[in-house]
Each structure stands twice: as structure tokens, then as C-alpha cells.
Amino acid sequence: MLERKELSAVELTESVLARVEAVEPSIGAYVTVTADIARVQAAAADRLRAKGLGGPLTGIPICQKDVLATRGVRTTCGSRMLEDFVPPYDATVVRKLQEAGAVMIGKGNMDEFAMGSSTENSAFHPTRNPWDPARVPGGSSGGSAAAVAAGEALGATGSDTGGSIRQPAALCGIVGLKPTYGRVSRFGLVAFASSLDQIGPFGRSVHDCALLLQAMAGYDANDSTSVDAPVDDYAGALSGDVRGLRLGIPEEYFTADLDPAVRACIEEAIADLERAGATIVRGISLPSTPHALAVYYIIAPSEASANLARYDGVKFGYSYHDGGGMWEDMERTRQHGFGDEVKRRIMLGTYALSAGYYDAYYLKAQKVRTLIRQEFDRAFERCDLIVAPTTPTVAFRLGEKSDDPLQMYLSDIYTIPVNIAGLPGMSIPCGFAQGLPVGMQLIGRPFEETTLLRAGDAYQRLTVWHQRRPELAAMEAGS
């Protein structure tokens, strides 16, 4: 409609801002709404389009996860520690999307410092699932996912350390893509676990995610982990053809822990892909998968304990000043500034790295990490993509797992191995169970996002799951 001049970017942005005003009280997807900035960016997008300039994202309203630095706009990471922090620069991803003409509607709510699977750990408010506001949207990028699902943004950014893009995408019935580690710059991303974190897009369709990834991907000298690899024309490669593509089915992802209704949706999606011409390869084995959760909860907290040491009340962020001296002030800053889940993970990581335990825990976890990557490499000798569930269940109720950290951690059991191995992964809507969305996960070889997107797009051409909208959206829109 923008290209055909049936709608201006300003009109589109105003409609999305009106949508935010209408549904935000019941969803809570945003920490900060940047309406004035959005209007300025939308007007600039219209001027570009009037000159015949711009691209497919010019004038498209998006949500930025509040873990990405935004110049002049507070970046809280869902934490009291950074409640009033305003960065002096933009994250590379934010800058690239601005250069592509995208309009920032606001900053998406999240679990504090990206530590969580439900967006209940935000210091400000929980985010609710648009399909059932009594349930979680997933996490840690739950605000971004809920914003897209509820029509409060047309696309969004997220970060994925152990499933924090794919899991909320699955629970909210949208598409979420975690790129290969090193594909997208992490400069300006507030770090949780530096060897696992990766930024990626949310969209209503695979095609939308392809357009967003196109703008986000590429080498960045500001990020030492950024890989100088060619960026494909992702949207241009969506042929709708999966004939001859080999899809591996890992037996370790289809265990008794998988909800039978979720399993039925995944199996039907696999059958759809087979009917489209893909070759299904059964019996793919990833034997170290049961150990992935333990590996993750040693490596990630260890890196977090180092990364979060910078929040000492001295340089920036929340600072406690009423103690008996510098050391007490520092202790009180961290006591009051961090939430329970963040403190839990700092303690886990500090313990794993401490003298006498480093070899027993951290070093052993890194060795198993290598085994997990090697097993994926062997699996990809037999197949081009791996197909699996994204989550073992549909969205659970708010508060249901808050008092049981282990049950909460198990929500990411199928997504964590992908981060450990540094691979690309994507969740696509593939059905409903108990009236709630189910996500199918596609896992690819390093830097083969094009193959992931091609298969996902072909699946969406066969199905209509991604076109379904939550009733909340339909009612609020007046339809």
C-alpha cells in the first residue's frame, strides 16, 4: 500500500500508535512508547518515497527490544538498575534499521537483562499473551513478540541467548529468527552471555523476517565477534520450492516431555513439507541434547556474572548512596538494583567460575558444548535442515512457573542447543493446541539463513496459520 501510494507512512504510523493506545493496557508490550520520534521518522519516510527513494522497510513501524541501545531514548533492559539510563549512541542494528527507513514505535518489554522465559521478570510490568492475556507471551523478548502478534508493530527486534526470540514467537503465533552467531552485529546490545547472545527479527511472516534480516545482517568492525561473510538477498531467494530439500527429524526432540497436542501439530507440518517435495530423514540423532540445559546454565550465568559486574553504582545506572562507605554502597546497589532471577544467575555463574569448581563445572560444560556442535555437524551430513518443536508446551499461565525455576528453564529445552552450537534457527506458526499457537522450529547450518527462510516461506505458502490473529486484536480493531 505504501508503494502504491494508497497509504502514507504517517497514516500507517498513526494507525499503529492508535492500536498501541487501544490494546497496550491489556498487553503491556512496551516499556517506552516513542510516539514523537515515530512521527518524525514517518514524515521523513514519506519524503523519501515521494522522491522514489527508500526500500521495502521505509515507513514500516517496528518495535525495538529494550536491550538495544537507542540514542536519546532510555534503554532499561527491563531492570531498575538501568531505569533512567539514556545511551549516547545507537546499537548497530538500530542504526541499520533507521537507515533502511523503519519507524521506531517504542522499546519492547523484556525479562530483566534478558534472563527469563516469560517476561514476568521485567522490573516494570509483565507482558501478556495476546491470544490469552492470562498467559505469558514467552521471553525474554516477550514484549517484542506480543507487540507484533497484537498489531502494535509490524515487525520487531529481539535477542536470543537460549531461545529468547524463537520461544516467544512460538507462544505468540508469529515468526522469529535467531541468526547464526556472528551474522548480526552485537554492538550496542547490552550483554547477558556474550558467546551466546544474537540479535534477530520478529515478523508476521517469513517474508517479513527476511526483509528485516536483510537490513540487520552484515559485518561490523565495532563487534569483534562479527563475521565478514556475504549477506544473501534473503527475500529474493524465497522461491516457494522445497523439492529435494532434506529435512532431518531428531529423535531427542520428540520425547515424552513433549505435549501430545504440540507433537501432533509438528508431525502434521512435517507431512505438509513432505507433500511439497521435501525429503524427510528420520532417525537423526543428537545424543548430547539432554545435557544442553545443564551446559547452558553453567556457561550463560558464568558469562553473566562477569558482564554484570559493571553495574556497581559507580559509572552509570542505579546507585545506592546511604551506606556506611563505598563497599556497602556497592553491595546495596546490586542488592536493590537487580531482581531475584538476575541475582540467582550471578550467584550460579560466580560459583561455577570460583577456585576449585572451574574445572568441574565451567571447563566440563565447554567440552560438552564442543560435543553438541560436533553432533549437529554430523547430523547435517545427512540433512539440509533439522525440524523440531520450538517449545514442549503452549503458553503457560502467568505465575504458573514463577516459583519453580527449573520448570521455567525447561521451557527452552528445544531452543538452547542451537545457541550452544551457534547455529541459525527459526520458529514458524504451525497450528493450535488448546486454542493457543504452536511453533515449528527449523535449524540450519551456519550462515545458511537463506535455506531456513526458503523452507519456512514454502511452508507458509501451503498453510494459513501465520494469517490467524488473536481475538483481542479483532475486537479492538472493531472487526
Q: Which residues are catalytic?
A: 65, 140, 164
Side chain identity at residue 305, one-letter code: S
Cβ–Cβ under 8 Å, residues 59 and 11: no
CA–CA distances in Å: residue 390 to residues 69, 159, 176, 371, 430: 28, 16, 11, 22, 10
Quick check: 188 and 94 in contact, CB under 8 A? yes
Distance (Å, whole) CA 476 – CA 479: 8
Q: Could you tell me if residue 277 is left (phi over 0), alpha (psi between -120 and 50 degrees) or otherwise beta?
A: left
Please choose, from the candidates 164, 115, 140, the residue with its C-alpha nearest in 3D space to the C-alpha of residue 301. Answer: 115
C-alpha grid cell, residue 382:
545427512
Report the C-alpha gap between 161 and 304 in whole angstroms.
Answer: 11
Q: Where are the beta strands (DSSP E) in 54-207?
A: 61-65, 103-108, 155-159, 175-178, 199-203
Rounded to 5 degrees, what angle do the CA atoms 308, 161, 303 make? 35
Cα separation of 423 and 250, whole Å? 15
> What is the DSSP secondary structure assignment for residue 252, as one 8-state letter?
G
Q: Are 366 and 288 in contact (CB under 8 A)?
A: no
Angle 364-379/292-307 helices, nearest 10 degrees? 130
Q: Strands 155-159 and 61-65: what pairing?
A: parallel
What count of other Cβ atoms lies within 10 Å of the Cβ of residue 261?
Answer: 15
Helices then strands, each counted (H, E), the chain: 15, 11
Q: Is 441 helix (H, G, I), strand (E, B) or coil?
A: strand
Burial label for 1, CB within 10 Å (0-12, 13-18, 19+), is exposed
Residue 160 to residues 163, 265, 307, Cα–Cα distance (Å): 5, 24, 16
